Structure 1
Amino acid sequence: MRRLELLSPRPLRGESWLDALPALPDTAGAYRWFYADVTAGEYSAVFIFMLGSLFSPRYSVGAPRGALPLQHSAVNFALYHRGRGVRWVLSEYPRALVCQGGRELLIGRSRLEYTRDGRVCLEVDEQCAPFGGAVHARLELQPESFSTEEVQLVPGVPHYWRTLAPRARAWLSVDSEGVRAEGHGYHDTNHGAELLGGRLPGWHWARMHGPEETVVEYHLPGGVAPLRVTASARGTSCERWPVRAEPLRTRVTGWGLRVPERLTSGPGVGTEPRLLESSPFYARLEARQGGLDVMGEVADFRRFHSPFIRWMAHFRTRVERQA
């Protein structure tokens, strides 16, 4: 396949890790989230720290009226065992704090930290949503590859993506479940100056961990060339690849959302993925085969802004009045 554009023209081996958190959003409608996932034995987990929460019906309604992103900060955590959901956390708070000279983000009792020795630590101390028991979870990432430069997802539209640790050693502990596991981790960030679901209606993406290399593909609407990040001990690159000539084969979930029949990221996985999460506007999928592990997401943010979907989202969220 011919490559269209090399966005990171040289391997990034030897570049330093982030010294501090990127700038946080401060205007109505803006957002930033920090995403991390881990595959460790029979377990998978996802941690997301959100400022201007994409899952918040309150921010969806309030942003056009001037609501600010830090007023709708949120922590999301999901734990899966053999493809089955075990715990779900989604808690929204009216503020977030940055500490430790810009290295640490606090939302409620949970925190994200970039340590001085180059690790990423995420700790969740929460209650399951909407009603449920306590969850105490920790993920520590030791990057094995370095970050890419920030990429604008669609030309002329203010939404951006950056892989921060596309391939990492990962240690997961969930004290409330008695889980201790080690595996592969992934970490990135998205941010934008306007609500998703307008000029950028949605996307689907997937990351594949192989024995020596991680590949991430980001597919965008409107004929925009997809992005591909390749990361290993040899370096990290980010490229745009040609749009597929043949249409992507999809299936329809019970909520009517179209998701890929197969998760592909680089060589891909040749089996139908399992649905880890399924909703009218969002799906999370996973597939494992032959030493390859793929996790992906599909999002249609236009659907989320419908009054009915916003109403449904209340039932998967806890709202805390004080941080």
Structure 2
Amino acid sequence: MDALPALPDTAGAYRWFYADVTAGEYSAVFIFMVGSLFSPRYSAGVKRGALPLEHCAVNFALYHQGRRQRWVLSEYPEASMQGNGRALRIGRSLLEYAPDGTVRLEVDERCAPFGRAVRASLVLEPQVPAAEELQLVPGLPHYWRALAPRAKARLEVASEGVVSEGLGYHDSNHGAELLGARLPGWHWARVHGPEETVVDYHLPGGVAPVRVSAGALGTKCERRPLLAEARPTSLTGWGLRVPARLHAGNTVVGVPKLLESSPFYARVEARRSGLDVMGEVADFRRFHSPFIRWMAHFRTRVERGT
């Protein structure tokens, strides 16, 4: 992959880099955010001109057999580009694109809100080309690109004694306005199968969903027709609507395990017979509620800088 893109610099804008891995009994998620979607301070401050570089964050979560083991969410007032634009540093953590295409994510943090030290790394070796960048909703300035839809992955969590290999995934979202202002939310899921990875991105308001398919024949990105009948959903304890089943095409993989559940966001996972599904549901309008912003403080560490 090429050097990292320019970081956003206008109020309400954002860019984040997401990666996940399924490795044996473990799964993990790494997110580097400039203009943090989890930041109550950024949400409240945009009307006063808050800038994305003033609200950067690192998120890391480790799961074992569908249960969370560690949660990191640390917010910083700065980030920096390094290595001729190939690396992004937030606090002590680093996202780096090597010239050979390898992606390395290193987290050196403490659990939120004031917990134990966590040191974790993820190395991705992409097995397929990146997808093209896509505007999620016509007329709105929000974009998504699957950078490494299917990758050989090595996960190490030194603080927990975890070393495991498996399949990884990497993408990036960016936008020029605050999420929830006009784009209320989305839900998406990626499915690793034995030979192919498929990512389905569902959007509100009757917008056609997006599908990325990545395998031996390359990577394809396309708009899909809306389903004639909506698939069943269920409500979390917070009242957030999530899929009742996770699918690989028309195959039911299973009832989703709630890896994370909050009033505005859920992370779900299911595995069966060589199929692995991980996805997210987000309602950004909910996050901008003052009460929910207040709750978000308790899952975040705020650092003064490096």
TM-score normalized by the length of structure 1: 0.94
What's the counterpart of residue 89 of structure 1? 72
The amino acid that maps onto 1:300 is D
The answer to whether the aligner puts 1:246 opposite 2:218 as a matched pair is: no
Matched, 1:154 2:137: yes
What pairs with 1:118-133 in structure 2 (closer than 5 Å)?
118-133=101-116
Does 2:244 align with 1:261? yes
Contact 2:247/2:254, CA 8 A, preserved across alignment: no
The separation in 1 between residues aligned to 2:184 and 2:35, in whole angstroms, is 17
Per the alignment, in what secondary structure is the counterpart of residue 312 of structure 1? helix
- Structure 2 residue matching 1:309: 3-state secondary structure: helix
- Decide which of 205, 208, 211 is 1:222's aligned counterpart: 205
8 Å CA contact 2:106–2:122 kept in 1: the answer is yes
1:59 aligns with 2:53: no
Instruction: Answer yes or no: is 1:175 the counterpart of 2:175.
Output: no
Q: CA deviation at 1:263?
A: 1.6
Note the C-alpha offset of 1:270: 3.2
Does residue 80 in structure 1 map to residue 80 in structure 2? no
Q: Which has the higher strand share?
A: 2
Contact 2:76 2:90 in 1 (8 A): yes
Q: Post-superposition shift, 1:220?
A: 0.2
Judged with a 3 Å threshold, the aligned counterparts in structure 2 of structure 1 residues 138 and 42 are, in CA distance, closer, same or farther, namely same
Name the residue aligned to 1:105.
88
Q: Which runs of 4+ in 1 moved over 2 A?
A: 264-270
Q: Distance in 2 between matches of 1:89 and 1:267?
A: 35
Other-structure match for 2:31 = 48
Residue identity opposite 2:163 in structure 1: R
- Give, in whole Å, the separation in 1 of the partners of 2:266 and 2:110: 22
- 1-structure distance, mates of 2:253, 2:247: 8
Q: Quote the RMSD (CA, aligned, Å).
A: 0.8
Q: Which of 293-302 and 240-249 deviates more?
A: 240-249
8 Å contact kept, 2:253–2:271: no
Distance 1:251 1:240 in 2: 26
- Give the corresponding residue for 1:273: 256
Q: Which runs of 5+ in 2 are unaligned?
A: none
Percent pairwise identity: 75
Once the two structures are overlaid, the 10-residue window that deviates more, 257-266 or 171-180, is: 257-266
Give, in whole Å, the separation in 1 of the partners of 2:159 and 2:266.
26
Cα deviation 1:245-265 (Å, max 9, x = unaligned) = 112310000000000001234
CA distance in 1, matches of 2:248, 2:38: 26
In structure 2, which of residues 198, 205, 215 is the aligned counterpart of residue 232 of structure 1?
215
* SS state at 2:53 partner: helix
Q: How many residues align?
A: 306
Within 2, Cα distance between the matches of 1:296 and 1:19? 26
Which runs of structure 2 are paired with 1:289-308 in the superposition (5 Å)?
Answer: 289-308=272-291
After TM superposition, give the deviation of residue 268 of structure 1 in Å. 4.5
Deviation of residue 269 (structure 1)?
3.5
> What stretches of structure 1 of length at least 5 have no aligned partner?
1-17
The residue type paired with residue 264 of structure 2 is F
Q: Which has the higher contact order (CA 8 A, sep 6+)?
A: 1
Q: TM-score, normalised by structure 2?
A: 0.99
- Distance in structure 1 (CA, Å) of the matches to 2:25 and 2:219: 28
3-state DSSP of counterpart to 1:149: coil
User: What's 1:194 paired with?
Assistant: 177
Q: Which residue of structure 2 lines up, in the alignment, with residue 316 of structure 1? A: 299
Separation in 2 of the partners of 1:135 and 1:231?
32
Amino acid at match of 2:200: E
Q: Distance in 2 between matches of 1:219 and 1:264?
A: 13
Contact 1:145/1:165 (<8 A) preserved: yes
Counterpart Cα distance in 1 of 2:177 and 2:190: 26
